[in-house]
Copies of this chain bind each other. A is one copy, B any other.
Amino acid sequence: MIARSEAKARTRQQLLSAAQEAVQKEGASALSLRGVARRAGVVPSAVYRHFESRDALLTQLILDAYTSLAETLEAAVGTRIAGDSWRRAAQALRAWALRHRHEFLLIYGTPVPGYRAPVETVAAAARVAAVFISRVPDTPQEHLNASLHAQLAGPARDFGVSPAQLGQALAETSQLVGALVLELGGHFVGTADPADHLWNQILEAQQQRQSGAEAPSEIT
């Protein structure tokens, strides 16, 4: 009666949402294939009809997390490129990270098993990166060193920005990701533990840099 492909898609979806729930609640290390199967009302070996292994299931969750984050960021910045686009993207990033802390660490924390094959995830990751890269104002007040310029020339072309913009984006997103990793890892306990103020401080400084911080651009 019920179409087979439809039934397959349904249990696959049940497996995925069970896995997603487990990760969201307790983190990737607590994700058990058997537990997922249990919650989906299915025997453990049945999972292998849908995913090659536990790690493949986890990889799918990583891809989904990337997509979720990318959509959130894109929705936050909208289509227009305004002066506060970077700030909006950064705020949306932290909000998403705090709301989905285990997924954030799944993406930006320790790579999961031995090595995670970056091949499939590169495209998903690029979509997230693109939001930030495209929001860097192209006033390259900080000139790149020659080596980095050469290294980024090709990739920058792909993103449709200048090497200086790409370099700036990489440096600044490093700060954003680092602050979130440290916050989620509890490394600010005792200093800036609710990291809201530190986050605002960082955003202000970044905004100031990007809008051409120097009143006196003496140094050539």
* A residues with CB within 8 A of B: 26-30, 105-106, 108-114, 116, 118, 122, 125-126, 142, 144-145, 147-148, 151-152, 155, 166-167, 170-171, 173-179, 181-182, 184-192, 194, 196-198, 200-202, 204-205, 213-216, 218
- Is chain A's binding surface mostly helix, strand, loop or mixed? helix
Question: Given that A110-B28, A186-B116, A197-B151 are known contacts, is A181 also in contact with B179, CB under 8 Å in the complex?
Answer: no
- Shortest Cβ distance from A149 into B: residue: B197
Measured CA separation A178–B30 after assembly (Å): 25
Q: How far is the CA of A209 from the CA of B111 in the complex (A)?
A: 32
Q: Closest CB-CB distance, A109 to chain B, in whole Å?
A: 3
Which one of B30, B142, B178 lies within 8 Å of A177 (CB-CB)? B178
Tell me the complex Cα distance, A208–B203, Å. 18
Q: Please, how many angstroms separate the alpha-carbon atoms of A199 and B17 in the complex?
A: 39
A174→B179 contact, CB < 8 A:
yes
Least CB distance, A29 to chain B, in whole angstroms? 7
Q: Do B114 and A200 touch across chains, with their CB atoms under 8 A apart?
A: no
Q: How far is the CB of A118 from chain B (nearest CB, A)?
A: 5
Residue among B105, B114, B144, B214 making CB contact with A213, cutoff 8 Å:
B214
Chain B contacts for A213, CB-based, 8 A: 213-214
